[in-house]
A and B are shown apart, each in its own frame.
Chain A
């Protein structure tokens, strides 16, 4: 396990290096001068030049690149060009909100999807199974940025039972997390169903039935435990997709997370903030996948890392 972890951590560093390089080059090569955007239309050319100088934007790109890395190794992600706030503290301030929303979406998706997957597998080729299929099709066909406003129209405008946007209470979390988690629920439910069906056809399940083990035990203990392994993989991989989707949902629901920090930062060419946010998201994504790999070993005794 230790060797595996070491190898994965080394891989992680090379992935992060790649991510930082690509983001750095893209954001610096896209037209748009941060100093001019900051100082506005009427700024004196001398002031724009002075600001470019003070922000270090007049240095060659390669120097800026290595300088960014040098600071990164000291744990310094720089300061936002626009607000002057340290990038790390700006991200840390907003990340809990993003994490809460992502986790709630994941929670919603799992509590809806896994039972649906189990039931549709148990009721294979019945009306319930077909309803499950329809649910999945609807789920994967509705993008979160469309579903969100539709849910707001129903639950906030028509019924008036949930707030349109904002944060601060569980009420505020319901619609954004459901909008984000719904498509994931559709995927997980199909995956759970397929996996359960495969496992239920195995010899050991037939044997269990033959010796009189109750259906409850067969489903929840013997079948589900084995069927859940590919589902965990999907959940882990989808976490990255959720982190991407959460950015749009945060804008729609005015949720004060990383998305609300990142999008305006891109518009204003706030290089340190954009680099910091992307780097942070990449780190989280990689770690979640690493955790998923480690969880495998616990839920499937056949998997051993060496």
Chain B
């Protein structure tokens, strides 16, 4: 029996070895060579963390959708690296009065199906966004449009109900071809046709998106022939994918502790620049403690931003004193800066009438609830860091982490004392309307009629210097009233193969410069 069983075992082992050999051959495994070390010079593989919702520029409001839209479509105007508006398909524009914008389109701009882009397409795009049936999340940005006129094939005139300075920023909307979008309806986003540098080829849901260079793009055919977007939801997998060369380009979607690892990797290069993401702590001004300005100031002084940025963010951030980042044209550098000073915090709390009960710091002065996003590791860690700083000045912070949709719901319904969140993609300072105007979102029960007035003036004023003056004052008021406690502006970090040339970083981390990128190999 023993002898037989040994034979059986040998035969079985032989079969296993044979199977492994066979599988290796089927898989064409070539041991010792890493994936992706030899590049197709005409291809760029980019990682996205979330499957896009749609490629219709009128409907997609998520970042993933925009990453495709900005290549497949082009806009009337675009933003430069300082958030100034510069020409795109409209080579110029003028304002006969403060309620009218006239855009002059370039000639010979073609959609990917070969038809020329005209003023009718522009008119159709904006009018369809205003149709409630389309359900565009961008509709609110265009509600001031009264009428759109097309005097000729290359001129579009927007007549507004009232002066609206951020209108130019809002004109950054992908222009869709009327003859296709009208016919396709909501399905247009599944098979988009635009006039951008890359044309849409294929979308394998939750897997990959393929774009191909468009040879009739008005600025010339891109050097990169194909962009392949890989949908990789897991952060570790994204990190390993760029390590092994399976993807060539990764923007921001990685925990900050990995930045050192990327910088040490000789096959990669990292481009960093301050972005327009504003991380803050929101305060509920209806709370008995937080309605006291001294308490808010005490909290602001208690947070050591330098330490957080160095240790927690690995220097991928800059201290935030205003919702606008220092690269924004309306940024006021002279607002009150709450630098770390726990002693001052304690004095302010004493002054506010909340003294240390036992005078040795072992008992808390009062407790507050702090809400954060349970599914976001950074949000949870940030909550613990803030909790420690608050403990140091005698405030007991009780962390309640909940899923993002519930967090938003709680904030909207004022079910919080404090929370941490971010504003993403701040470019036009009119964002203050959404943040703090009484008719805006006012996430934290902060109302200030003078601030409302200044925000309205900023929205109406066309003269950029006057606008700047209003926004300077707005930022001064906010730094004094402290409805938000600014933490940091996150630094955008693009990690890419060292042989990729030509990437330009924009404050919103846009991929627009990929149309001008190319591969350069030394040998």
Q: Smallest distance from the beta carbon of B250 to chain A beta carbons, Å? A: 13
Q: Tell me which of A38, A83, A149, A166 contacts B236 (CB under 8 A).
A: A149
Q: Contact: A260 with B233, CB < 8 Å?
A: yes
Q: Is B332 an interface residue (CB 8 A)?
A: no
Smallest CB–CB gap between B379 and chain A, Å? Answer: 14
Q: Does B232 contact A (CB under 8 A)?
A: yes
Question: Are B206's CB and A261's CB within 8 A?
Answer: yes
Shortest CB distance B216–A (Å): 30
* B60 CB to nearest A CB, Å: 10
B403: chain A residues within 8 A (beta carbon) = 32, 267
**Shortest distance from the beta carbon of A119 to any chain B beta carbon, whole Å:** 6
Which of A42-50, A237-245, A298-306 is found at the contact surface with chain B?
Answer: A42-50
Which residues of A are found within 8 Å of B405, using beta-carbon distances? 30-33, 37, 267-269
A residues less than 8 Å from B375 (CB atoms):
267
A269-298 CB mask vs B (1 if < 8 Å, else 0) is 100000000000000000000000000000
**B56 to A, closest residue via Cβ:** A84
A152 to B239, CA, bound (A): 11
User: A82 contacts the other chain (Cβ, under 8 Å)?
Assistant: yes
Partner of A157, one of B135, B186, B244, B406: B244
Chain A residue at smallest Cβ distance from B234 = A252
Q: Is the CB of A256 within 8 A of B409?
A: no
Q: Is the CB of A122 within 8 A of B137?
A: no
Given contacts A157-B243, A167-B207, A254-B230, contact A47 B140 (CB under 8 A): yes
Contact pick for B140, options A38, A44, A54, A214, CB 8 Å = A44
A122 touches B409 (CB 8 A): no
CA distance A67 to B169 in the complex (A): 43
Stretch at the interface among B22-30, B109-117, B347-355, B493-501: B22-30
Q: How far is the CB of B408 from chain A (nearest CB, A)?
A: 7
Q: Which of B54, B207, B232 has the most CB of A within 10 A?
A: B207
CA of A166 to CA of B16, assembled, Å: 27
Total interface residues on A, CB under 8 Å, equals 64
Nearest CB of A to B167, in Å: 15
> Would you call A83 and B53 a contact (CB within 8 A)?
yes
Residue of B nearest to A209 (CB): B1
Size of chain B's interface in residues, with CB distance under 8 A?
A: 61
Contact with B along A136-174 (1 / 0, CB 8 A): 000000000000010011001101111111111011001
Q: Point out the residues of chain A lying under 8 angstroms from B205, CB to CB.
A: 90, 93-94, 256, 261
The reply to whether the CB of A216 lies closer than 8 angstroms to some CB of chain B is yes
CB distance from A196 to the nearest CB of B (A): 13
Chain A hits for B190, CB < 8 A: 85
Q: Which residues of A contact B406 (CB under 8 A)?
A: 30-32
Given A31-B406, A160-B33, A253 contacting B206 (CB threshold 8 A): no
B59 to chain A, nearest CB (A): 9
Per-residue 0/1 for B28-62: is the Cβ within 8 Å of any A Cβ (1 yes, 0 no)? Answer: 11111111000000000000001101100000010
Bound-state CA distance A174–B54 (Å) is: 31
- Specify which chain B residues have a CB less than 8 angstroms from the CB of A60 in the assembled complex: none
A238 and B384 CA atoms in complex are apart in Å by 39
Q: How far is the CA of A139 from the CA of B231 in the complex (A)?
A: 29
Stretch at the interface among B5-13, B147-155, B464-472: B5-13
Residues on B with C-beta less than 8 A from A267 are 375, 403-405
The distance in angstroms between the C-alpha atoms of A272 and B141, with both chains bound, is: 29
Within 8 A of B (CB), among A231-271: 251-254, 256-257, 260-261, 263-264, 267-269
Selected from B35, B132, B234, the residue in CB contact (under 8 A) with A47 is B132
Other than A51-B135, A115-B16, A260-B51, give 5 A-B pairs with Cβ distance below 8 A.
A31-B406, A41-B434, A44-B140, A47-B139, A260-B233
